[in-house]
Chain A
Amino acid sequence: MTRLFLALLLAFAPLTVAAQERVLSIGGSLTEVVVALGQEARLVGRDTTSTYPETVTDLPDVGYMRQLSPEGVLSVRPDLILLTEGAGPPETLATLRSAGVDLVTVAEGHSPEAVVAKIRAVAQALGVAQDGEILAARVADEIAAARAAAVQAPGPKPRVLFLLSNSGGRLTGSGSDTAAQAIIALAGGENALTGFAGYKALTDEAIASAAPDVLLVMERGAAGPQAKTDYRSHPAIAATPAGQAGRVVQMEGMFLLGFGPRTGQAIAALHGALYPELR
């Protein structure tokens, strides 16, 4: 009965909402949500951080999300702009608002609840709230399943050192209040870095005292496999348990840290990489 009711609702949903047909999505995870909601056809543009799924890279790129140019944004003639928290600059947003475009800012967060809220907010803005509920429920189930596996993992939690970048041997790691710390915790690991918030450059001593069991690094296109050995040959890393065991996990940045519809899969993938013996 409920199923029938839902189907009816879905059938009539497009008729009841005066949907905006030209949507510009600013923020990689928002774009993923739009596509996951089956609304890719309404997208007329994206920002530089929107690279998944690959089909969206064919859309015009209006630039970096914090540095939008008003005419560039208006040139794709959007009637609705989805903005991730922190998009700007504020002057551009003010100009866009005064030009009569609807702006919807969607909050960012690094928790399962935030992912669900993000999906609901995007679906609401696109006028497909029912589809949003279905997607939110599916993603919440995926996250819950991945979490259940992570919680059951035996033994002490592996200490994970997330490295954002490796520029000429200078390593940047993630402290508290970061997407990296959140995903590591969700996947059943422990952030090896404590005592600071955000992403900071690390001294060799900080790396040694972090004593990570696993290194978590981002994939960077063709340089990927190369980067893996680069990290292991770093003198401070080589001395850590992770360096000695050669445990480097490499994952795509948007997949791992985007906190979009793929969050459940990201938790499962990272969990699998942290506990290879369970596979």
Chain B
Amino acid sequence: MAAHRLPVPVVGGALGVLLGAATVASLSLGASGLLPWEPLWREISPTERAILFDIRLPRLLLGALVGAGLAVSGALMQGLFRNPLADPGLVGVGAGAGLGAVIAIVLGGALPAALRAATGIYLVPIFAFAGGWAATLILYRVASARGQTSIATMLLAGIVLGALAGAVTGLLIFAADDAQLRDLTFWGLGSLAGANWPKLAAAAPILILGLLSTPLLARGLDAMALGEPVARHMGVPVERVKRGAILAVAAMTGASVAVSGGIGFLGIVVPHILRLAIGPGHRLLLPLSALFGAALLVAADTAARLLVAPAELPIGILMALIGAPVFLWILLARRAHLEI
């Protein structure tokens, strides 16, 4: 296996170039055909200024942060659960955030006027974030006893909580009217079209903090790959690593889902492709996942808004449509045993 691995500087360099290219494309390409360097040699209209600085730029930054956050969350979950199928959904964030969003969309009109006035147009993202957090806290309490967190209990409880949230969501969908149903469908498909500076200002600190905290978890996760008892003997504070990873995932996924809806797939595909390329060590896996996730989401988002311009595709569809065959092809080509 090791012989097939690629040198880390090559992988890192390639991902850097990919992110750079995606960034340039994201700033340059759009329905309006405006190029980012046009302000350098001509006066641009206020509308064109808005397209560059209030539409494309916050969207690029939000896409990069959300992509990095989702990919790193996936890598953390697979490391923590020592399971290649694990994704942020397992800690209940996905189900909780989804339920929060559905509550806001369907019952939004019935909420107290003061709450609606305070949240304004950000009612759905705020509820999604709160729902994700609430679900994570409940799961964590269920799985923890006497200072120990049982990963297996958390996994099972996560599935059960997901089913419960799904049932309540279904109940609300039954009560929803036609317009709300359409909003729910589109929310579930994910989109970065609503990106703007206020959303970025709210989500960026959480995502950046989450991303910066992950290097502290890398050594612990590597040791835990050998089993919790071994990690304890190696002097790793296992409980603190678990708590840190769960918090980081809840924060990053919650913020991502809140601002962009349901974008799946990144959390599974990105870490697996990278493990095939550079091996399972978290010290490199986590930062490179951030780089790859950011590049992939920014590139996919650029495609999403070009393919059917001036309308745009929900990005979740595009991620799975392109990502799934590519991932299958890589699996077939490498016939590799997936390491964690």
Which residues of A does B touch, CB under 8 Å?
45, 48, 60-64, 66-77, 86, 89-92, 94-95, 98-101, 197-199
Q: Bound state CA distance, A62 and B311, in angstroms? A: 4
Interface contact B312-A92, CB-CB below 8 Å:
no
What residues of B have a CB within 8 angstroms of the CB of A94 in the complex?
121, 196
CB proximity of A155 to chain B, nearest CB, Å: 33
> In the docked arrangement, what's the CA distance between A98 and B55, Å?
11
**Which residue of A has the minimal Cβ distance to B311?**
A63
CB nearest to B52 among chain A residues: A71
Taking a contact as CB atoms under 8 Å apart, the answer to whether B310 and A70 are in contact is: no
A64 in contact with B47 given A75-B30, A98-B54, A99-B54 (CB within 8 Å): no
In angstroms, how far is the closest chain B Cβ from the Cβ of A163? Answer: 14
CB-defined A-B contacts under 8 Å, sample of 15: A62-B310, A62-B311, A71-B31, A73-B310, A74-B50, A89-B121, A89-B193, A91-B194, A91-B199, A95-B50, A99-B51, A99-B55, A197-B177, A198-B177, A199-B177
Interface size range of chain B in the complex = 20 to 34
A60 with B47: CB separation less than 8 A: no
Of all chain B residues, the one with the shortest Cβ separation from A48 is B311
Q: Verify A95–B55 contact, CB threshold 8 A.
A: yes
Given A62-B310, A94-B121, A71 contacting B54 (CB threshold 8 A):
no
- List chain B residues, Cβ under 8 A from A74: 31-32, 47, 50-51, 55
- Please measure, in the bound complex, the distance between the C-alpha atom of A71 and the C-alpha atom of B312, giving whole angstroms: 10
A67:B310 contact, CB within 8 angstroms: no
Could you give, for residues 311-329 of chain B, a 1 whenever the CB lies within 8 Å of some chain A CB and a 0 otherwise?
1100000000000000000
Chain B residues with CB under 8 Å of A72's CB are 31, 305, 309-312
Collect the chain B residues with CB atoms within 8 Å of residue A91's CB: 121, 194, 196, 199
* Residue B56 at the chain A interface, CB threshold 8 Å: yes
A98 to B46, CA, bound (A): 9
**Contact between A67 and B47, CB atoms less than 8 A apart:** no
Q: Which of A60, A61, A69, A198 contacts B305 (CB 8 A)?
A: A69
Closest to A94 in B: B121
Contact (Cβ within 8 A) B46 A63: no
Q: Are B310 and A66 in contact (CB under 8 A)?
A: no
Flag whether B186 is at the interface (Cβ < 8 A).
yes
Enumerate chain A residues within 8 angstroms of B31, measured Cβ to Cβ: 69, 71-72, 74-75
Residue pair A69, B54 in contact (C-beta under 8 Å): no
Whether the pair B186, A67 counts as a contact (CB closer than 8 A) is yes
Given contacts A70-B55, A71-B30, A98-B50, 9 further A-B contacts (CB under 8 A): A48-B311, A64-B182, A67-B186, A71-B305, A74-B31, A76-B310, A95-B50, A99-B47, A198-B177
